[in-house]
Structure 1
Amino acid sequence: MNVVIVIDSLVGGGAEKVMLTLAEELVKLQHNVTILSLASSVEYDIPDMVNVESLLSDRASKVDRFWQRKNSVLKLEAWFEKKQSEIGSIDLVLSNLDRSNNLLARSNIKNVHFVIHNSVNAELARQKKLGPFSYLYLKKSKQNLNGKSLICVSKGVEKEITQGDLIRPSAITTIYNPFDFEKINQQANEQNNNIPNEPYLIHVGRLAKQKRHDILFAAFAKLDKKYKLVLLCNKPAKAIKLAQAYGIEKQLVVPGFQQNPYNWIKHAKALVLSSDFEGLPTVLIEALAVGAPVVSTNCTFGPNEILTGELSKYLVPAGQSEALADAVKQVLADKPNVKNAEILKQVQAEQVALQYLALVN
């Protein structure tokens, strides 16, 4: 089959990583895959077998604004027309993130499914704080998905959409994100001389309000001073400045964005997620896969679909640093064996890729 994955950019982020994993797995299954990034910037190492093209020669920040939209849609349709003349009909198109969704929703391109990576309500609530224009842009972006086929990355996201009245899709289903456990464990075992020798906790995620570094830092300040806190994030200087308010800046290790986060995660005493909302936090699953214990806020959505059974005691209410600190102390004392977590059986890359391919039928 011919598959095209459209995404805003390939700059470090969860959705980008998910789609690269999916693309690689589809190629292994002998399908022809192209990732079309609206912007030309790429931060990830692209596997040799995956073909990546960009629609624009630079950034794509205003590509879907009303004064540029028509031109952008025409450009997108022209790209698809050219691609079809080269490879034949395109069986499956997966659209990711708002800008790509806004263009594809207005285009005449067929066989498109829109992948929803986050809680829609939580995104809108956050956007409201940024002012009316930001909020209306996002609300309209979500409403553009009316009558479209949606793929949600967790059951929580699917339930939110079906029970709400903002988006009425033509079809909706949940497909969990794909994970190549063999590759993850291979990378987790790679030598890395930058990893601290002292015991440390780790947080992986960009410096954004959603990730609640303030709650993370407040919780960390309540722990034994022997621990370091490794932050794999995109704005090291800003993170250190924020940490000063909690008196923990000397305990921080901030190496910036890492192509391979898995050896960092594997050697951590625990991974901590402090977010207000997610779609399906892939980093929790990656931590379990390499054997790192996990503590997480029970945010919408995903953590309670990942940390089930015995592991559910490491879920705490969002926004509560005291509860987060207590759960970290508990996990450090328990040292649970997490490699048999139930979720790991449901997210193997090949199994997930086959679910995506079934959309064609």
Structure 2
Amino acid sequence: MIGVLDFADEIFQTNPWPLYAHYVARDSVAWSPQMNCYFVFGYPNVRAALNSPAFTTANPFRRTRTAIGLSALDTDGDMHSRMRSAFLPAFRPAAVADYATSLVLPAVRHLLDDVLGSTEPGWLPEVAARLPVSVAAAIVGLPADAHTFLRRTMRPLVVFIDHGPVEYATVVARRDELKAYLRAAMSRSTHTRSLIHLLGAGGLSEPEIVENALLAIVAATETTTSAITNVAARIFGQPQLFDLLRHVPELIPAAVAETLRHEPPLHVTLRFTTTEVSMGEHRLPAGSPVQVCLASANRDPSAYPDPDVWDLHRRGRAPLTFGAGPHHCLGSGLAQVEIETLIHELVRRFESLRVLSPATPRPRGRTFRSVPDLVLG
């Protein structure tokens, strides 16, 4: 049994790859009665859906719209272009290169000094959780100690977005608490390079600044946290690979990139059709909800030879881990810098670092996927 297209299904949560391969090979569009939506599979169809104006994120029923508000993530057309343009200065390659040395590397070293000084064996999940939110908070323009409040308060929002069990009233209350915190930060901010300032300079209103700043924090944390965990499980789960990267650290970016293809932290992203859409033999009515399966594209044999094989020297098409088109993740470069910097620092500090548990470090989840309870030693 290969499972069903249902986030609640145990097989779907733990090993969806045979299911994805089944649909990529046989029928790249499928209707899920359990989810009451379509799923789209395979590199060509996923890329087409991400680039086509016939698919939109602008719909009040997207969970991110409830959890965050009307941000660049949940708009299209002129509104999306205006919001995305306001984000651009903070995530251009030159800005990310500056963050790498001025922000990310010091944050990694400080965090490792802190957690490695404790006796807790499960320090990697703490590092994976704290690093992205600390970096995001600094870029937004929040105090250095904001990460504790942000992690605690954001958690119900993330669980809700991930289709997990959380009360709607809790989500709304925590969302409003975060927005109040960001409004207060706006009133105190004097840092002209902060994202809060840049969004305002880009012409966004106060509510738009708050909701897009909240988007930046939520989007920059959960997927990067999951990605860090998956990359660590891959590298430290293979002693020969760890030893290779210790001696040839120039290969770390390739190891990170291939893991992001092979075990992406986000498997699906929701769209709605703006008009009737034909895909293969299927006709999707206007207004149809569609889960676009990014992960299936990353292991489509038409795009990647031997797609289930993790290959350090793989070349070819860019994976769709961070999407494509108008909603391609602006923070993808920053996420990769954070992961690469952390791995560089770990192989520098340790002569030996191995996965102690779980015995088989396999990612699991619904939309977000990561290895649970990863212990290194």
TM bucket (normalised to shorter chain) is: under 0.3
Higher helix share: 2
Q: Which has the higher contact order (CA 8 A, sep 6+)?
A: 2
Higher strand share: 1
- TM-score, length of structure 2 as denominator length: 0.25
